[in-house]
Amino acid sequence: MSMSENGRAGEHATMDDVARLAGVSLKSVSRVINAEPHVSARLREKVEAAISALNYVPDTAARSLAGSRTFIVGLLFDNPSPNYTMNIQKGVYEACRANQYHLRIDNVDSSAPRAEYEARLLGLVSNSRCDGFILTPPLTDDVVLLDFLDRSGIRYVRISPALQAQRSPSVCIDDAQAAASLARHLWELGHRKLAVVLGPERHLAAARRRDGFIAALAELGLPEPVREVPGNFSFEGGIRAGTELLQDGPRPTAIFATNDDSAAGVMAACAQAGLRVPADISVAGFDDSWIARSVWPYLTTVNQPIEEMGYAAASLLLRKGEPQNTPHLLDYSLVVRDSTAAPLRA
């Protein structure tokens, strides 16, 4: 009943109306709408005129009932930083819009017990009747989910996969290279005592950042090992990590946190410890998400074109034809801001 006394809201034109106004058959209208071949220019014009005259918009429900597509893209996300998520979502949304698709959101909570979580996830995916899904980390590397999708023949595109990169279409940057460029930046500033704050265990892209960072330093000839402490991509995890680094063991002159949120936490820990950033200690992050400019000093970080990645992922998903399983690589860039500087001379 709710919408029923719609009064006028239901006054949408249908394909019939368009056909009648244009003086053609139903099927011809359908052809024009779906850009099918074998349509004369004259007919197309007539139909298009009628469409815009009537302000006709195809009914998605009818379309998906009759056809094989639902015109819905599902975006699955877990629970990463809100900044990252919003950016991805924005990109995916824009690509959907450009292709006349709708965007449907589904949240899953990976902190739930694993069995429950899996049941939920698979239920979502199989009942949601989307034309395909966009997966963000850490879902990107969830093998149970991937197996299920493959077995069911459901299309999907992964963002920043770290596992089995050739398994499906995907979009990513070169995390290792990006972290390496950050390592070189710190090295060139003169830092030789370095530390890295790790990401969540299942977030494999974070592991690649760590690897790239350390490998680059090794190549440059760093004399001593890089200290490593756990983190979980959260601000609070960053505080804990920073505190640990500053209290015990040899104090680093520069800290690389594998995402911006934890880098911000590290900066807070420095402030607590009475250290000035970057005068006393340098801090760098990864993502260039919104928080990188919501801290003071502004964070030196690696820019991932997150929104673009979302856009590219959805475009890949919606592209017709055989999906390409080679990762679609986007450019990153080193963003040097105010949180890194040369170390004090001892």
What tokens were used for 223?
Answer: 């004399």
**Residue 68 vs 111, nearer CB to DNA:** 68
User: At residue 107, what is the residue type?
Assistant: N
The verdict on 271 binding a second copy (CB under 8 A) reads yes
**Which burial class, exposed, middle or buried, applies to 90 when counting CB atoms under 10 A from its CB (0-12, 13-18, 19+)?**
middle
Which CB, 198 or 299, lies closer to a second copy? 299
CB of 175 to a second copy, least distance (A): 22
CB of 197 closer than 8 Å to CB of 231: yes
The single-letter DSSP state of residue 228 is E
> Which residue lies nearer to DNA by CB, 39 or 165?
39
Q: Could you please report the per-residue DSSP string of 113-133?
A: -HHHHHHHHHHHHHHS--SEE
Which CA distances in Å does 194 have to 197, 244, 248, 258, 312?
10, 14, 14, 13, 35
61 lies in the site for a second copy, by CB under 8 A: yes
The single residue listed with the structure tokens 């005068």 is 279
267 binds, among DNA, a second copy, none (CB under 5 to 8 A by kind): a second copy
The amino acid at residue 174 is: D
Q: Of a second copy, DNA, none, which one does residue 43 interact with (CB within 5 to 8 Å by kind)? A: DNA
Least Cα distance to 49 among 30, 29, 35 occurs for 29
- Which H helix or E strand runs over 26? helix 26-33
135 binds a second copy (CB under 8 A): no
Residue 117 interacts with a second copy (CB under 8 A): yes or no: no
33 binds, among DNA, a second copy, none (CB under 5 to 8 A by kind): DNA
Residue 243 neighbours by CB distance under 10 Å: 18
**Between 21 and 60, how does the x/- string for binding to a second copy read (CB under 8 A)?**
------------------------------------x-xx
In 180-253, beta strands by DSSP E = 194-197, 227-229
Q: Which of 21, 28, 47, 85 binds a second copy (CB under 8 A)?
A: 85
| Phi, psi values for residue 252, rounded to 5° | -75, 155
Nearer to a second copy, 86 or 215 (CB): 86
Q: Is 1 in the site for a second copy (CB under 8 A)?
A: yes
Peptide bond into 278 cis (omega under 30): yes
Task: Name the residues that contact DNA, by CB under 7 A.
Answer: 12, 14-16, 24-28, 30-31, 33-34, 37-40, 42-43, 56, 58-59, 62-63, 65-68
Q: Considering the complex, what minimum distance in angstroms separates the CB of residue 85 from DNA?
A: 32
Query: Which residue stretch of 33-41, 46-54, 152-160, 167-175 sits at the interface with a second copy (rule: CB under 8 A)?
Result: 152-160
Cβ count near 242 (within 10 Å): 31
Burial of 288: CB neighbours in 10 Å, binned 0-12, 13-18, 19+: buried
* Site size with a second copy, rule: CB under 8 A: 69
| DSSP type of residue 290 | G
346 binds, among DNA, a second copy, none (CB under 5 to 8 A by kind): none
Interacting residues with a second copy (CB under 8 A): 1-10, 12, 57, 59-62, 64-65, 68-70, 82-83, 85-87, 89-90, 93-94, 102-107, 115, 118-119, 122-123, 126-129, 131-132, 148, 152-155, 235-236, 239, 261, 264-265, 267-268, 271-272, 290-291, 293-296, 320
